[in-house]
């Protein structure tokens, strides 16, 4: 048995639960199983191709020889385009010095944590939420978990956050939220902003500020009456304390194109740039040039987003209605009305039930396994997002969902549930 030791971080870091589940699914597919895979927050390019105009600009950029290192902070034409884009689309004003380009959102989140959080610093984040637990672990920060509940669509509330702000250095928020596909209400986000402003005003000048990381990577994907709100639009004072995470990955089904941006106070952006320059996390030059041009193509933007949102919403609502039908039929099923992003939040509460073979589903992991093996449905449990291991809630991602399979998914789940007693 090997006694080789590595760093404390390497020894204690938990690998991505979603990647682990994905590996199991891949093996099953390789062995010939037909599965409905709703796990990964990605897109099937046959269902959701990137915009043709963006694709053409990428190809042209490579043909034009844009294959060298880009600027560490991102190419100026792209930062200008991002500044104009968010001003027109969101009403936010950020200069090029307040914008940092990276190869997607992950390096930006990493550099935010590394720039703000020291060992022992309090990091406040809700559960479920995506990867905040791991990024806090990277920095040996003190985890302050806010247990979000169904009653608030799994969004954290100001009342929950308030007791923990004293001494905290980072409040990690996401709206629309991964994994739930739900959004902050205006009143709730305003209340949170007021708490952050009040807390910072009590701190002496030699004490670190409390920053809000606001991940809004799904902000353009809202549906029905849902509205995306952000801290700076609601409370302009929050511009001093807010750093946004954004990009093209989700809004344009371009997860593999790898272009993201952060927007925040120039001194913080400068520190993040320095960190990112050492880990080489800049977006490829050609993609930067292409995105800079694409973001200025108003007609292409509008046409793509209109069609894209219709396709995503169709899948979300039809799956949601299917789950409600199962609930009406008496199964222990629930779902939250889809508001945004590419996710549907569902509950499958069948712990304690027995299979036809008399095997009791004693814990939620057994339920997940049963759904995968019997219903052929793969979903990500909320426990993969920091929630309790026995949470009966799941994330369904529709980025790889085919419309003509939705009825089959619901029927497959129905038949699997019928077999339990």
For residue 413, tell me if it sits in a domain.
Answer: yes
Strands 343-348 and 242-247: unpaired
Residues 6+ apart with CB under 8 A from 129: 172, 174, 177, 178, 179, 385, 386
Q: Which range of residues forms the domain containing residue 308? A: 8-48+302-418
Task: Give pLDDT tens digits for 314-336.
Answer: 999 999 999 999 999 999 999 99
Q: Are residues 225 and 170 in the same domain?
A: yes
Whether 264 and 126 map to the same domain: the answer is: yes
Separation of alpha carbons 37 and 127, rounded Å: 23
Asked whether 207 and 190 are in contact (CB, 8 A), the reply is: no
Whether residue 356 is found in the same domain as residue 277: no
Whether 347 is covered by a domain: the verdict is yes
Q: Please report which confidence band the pLDDT of residue 22 belongs to, taking 50, 70 and 90 as the band edges.
A: confident
The whole model's pTM is what?
Answer: 0.95
When pLDDT is cut at 50, 70 and 90, the band that residue 18 belongs to is confident
Q: Show which of 266, 297, 328 is a domain's final residue.
A: 297
Are 74 and 112 in a shared domain? yes
In this structure, is residue 125 part of a structural domain? yes
Question: Cα–Cα distance between 171 and 173 in angstroms, integer?
Answer: 6
Q: How far apart are CA 309 and CA 167, in angstroms?
A: 41
Q: How high is the pLDDT of residue 2?
A: 58
State residue 4's pLDDT score: 77
Same domain, 327 and 250: no
Q: Is 92 a member of any domain?
A: yes
Given a cut of 80, whether residue 413 has pLDDT beyond it is yes
Assess if residue 36 is contained within a domain: yes
Query: Among 252, 279, 297, where does a domain finish?
Result: 297
Same-domain pairing of 166 and 281: yes
Q: How confident is residue 1, by pLDDT bands cut at 50, 70 and 90?
A: low
Q: Say whether both 37 and 148 belong to one domain.
A: no
Domain count, the chain: 2
Which of 254, 277, 297 delimits the end of a domain? 297
Q: Is 2 part of any domain?
A: no
Q: What is the CATH number of the domain that holds 131?
A: 3.40.640.10
Report the candidate in 292, 176, 158 with the shortest Cα–Cα distance to residue 245: 176
User: In terms of domains, do 90 and 228 share one?
Assistant: yes
pLDDT at 15: 76
**Is 1 among the domain residues?**
no
Instruction: Measure Cα distances from 220 to 45, 160, 228, 310, 410 in Å.
Output: 19, 27, 8, 12, 28
Tokens of 15: 């690998």
CATH assignment at residue 318: 3.90.1150.10
- Predicted confidence (pLDDT) per residue in 348-406, tens digit: 999 999 999 999 999 999 999 999 999 999 999 999 999 999 999 999 999 999 999 99
Least confident of 3-12, 75-84, 270-279: 3-12
255 and 314 share a domain? no
Q: Encode pLDDT of 90-146 as tens digits.
A: 999 999 999 999 999 999 999 999 999 999 999 999 999 999 999 999 999 999 999
Distant-in-sequence, close-in-space partners of 342: CB < 8 Å, separation ≥ 6: 41, 43, 181, 218, 221, 250, 312, 316, 397, 398, 399
Whether the pLDDT of residue 237 is over 90: the answer is yes
If one counts every other C-beta atom within 10 angstroms of the C-beta of residue 15, the result is 9
37 in the same domain as 176: no
| Terminal alpha carbon distance of the chain | 44
Is 397 found in the same domain as 285? no
Do 89 and 32 lie in a common domain? Answer: no
Tell me if 270 is assigned to some domain: yes
Compute the mean pLDDT over every residue in the chain, rounded to the nearest whole number.
Answer: 95
Q: Of 342, 338, 345, 383, nearest to 365 (Cα)?
A: 383
In the DSSP assignment, the letter for residue 154 is T
Which DSSP state fits 282? P
């Amino acid at each position: 048995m090997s006694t080789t030791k590595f760093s404390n971080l390497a020894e204690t870091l938990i690998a991505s639960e979603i990647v682990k589940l994905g590996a199991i699914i891949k093996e099953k597919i390789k062995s010939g199983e037909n599965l409905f895979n709703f796990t990964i927050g990605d897109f099937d390019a046959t269902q959701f191709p990137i915009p043709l105009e963006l694709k053409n600009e990428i190809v042209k950029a490579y043909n034009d020889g844009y294959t060298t290192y880009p600027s560490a902070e991102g190419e100026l034409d792209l930062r200008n385009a991002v500044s104009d884009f968010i001003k027109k689309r969101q009403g936010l004003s950020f200069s090029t010095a307040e914008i940092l380009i990276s190869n997607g959102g992950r390096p930006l989140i990493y550099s935010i944590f590394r720039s703000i959080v020291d060992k022992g610093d309090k990091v406040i984040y809700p559960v479920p939420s995506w990867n905040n637990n791991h990024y806090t672990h990277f920095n040996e920060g003190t985890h302050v978990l806010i247990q979000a509940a169904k009653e608030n669509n799994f969004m954290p509330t100001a009342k929950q956050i308030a007791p923990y702000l004293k001494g905290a250095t980072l409040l990690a928020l996401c709206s629309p939220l991964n994994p739930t596909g739900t959004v902050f209400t205006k009143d709730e986000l305003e209340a949170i902003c007021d708490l952050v402003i009040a807390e910072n005003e009590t701190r002496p000048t030699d004490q670190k500020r409390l920053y809000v990381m606001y991940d809004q990577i799904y902000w353009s994907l809202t549906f029905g009456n849902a509205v995306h709100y952000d801290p700076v639009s609601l409370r302009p004072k929050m511009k001093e304390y807010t750093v946004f995470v954004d990009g093209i990955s989700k809004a344009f089904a371009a997860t593999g194109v790898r272009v993201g941006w952060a927007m925040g106070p120039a001194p913080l952006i400068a520190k993040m740039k320095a960190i990112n320059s050492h880990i080489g996390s800049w977006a490829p030059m050609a993609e930067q040039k292409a995105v800079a041009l694409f973001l200025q193509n108003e007609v292409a933007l509008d046409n793509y987003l209109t069609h894209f949102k219709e396709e995503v919403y169709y899948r979300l609502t039809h799956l949601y209605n299917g789950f409600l039908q199962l609930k009406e039929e008496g199964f222990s099923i629930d779902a939250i009305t889809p508001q945004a992003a590419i996710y549907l939040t569902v509950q499958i509460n069948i712990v304690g039930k027995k299979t036809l073979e008399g095997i009791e589903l004693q814990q939620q992991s057994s339920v997940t396994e049963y759904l995968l093996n019997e219903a052929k449905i793969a979903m990500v449990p909320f426990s993969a997002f920091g929630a309790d291991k026995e949470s009966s809630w799941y994330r369904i991602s529709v980025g790889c969902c085919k419309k003509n399979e939705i009825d089959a998914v619901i029927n497959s789940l129905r038949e699997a549930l019928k077999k339990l007693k």
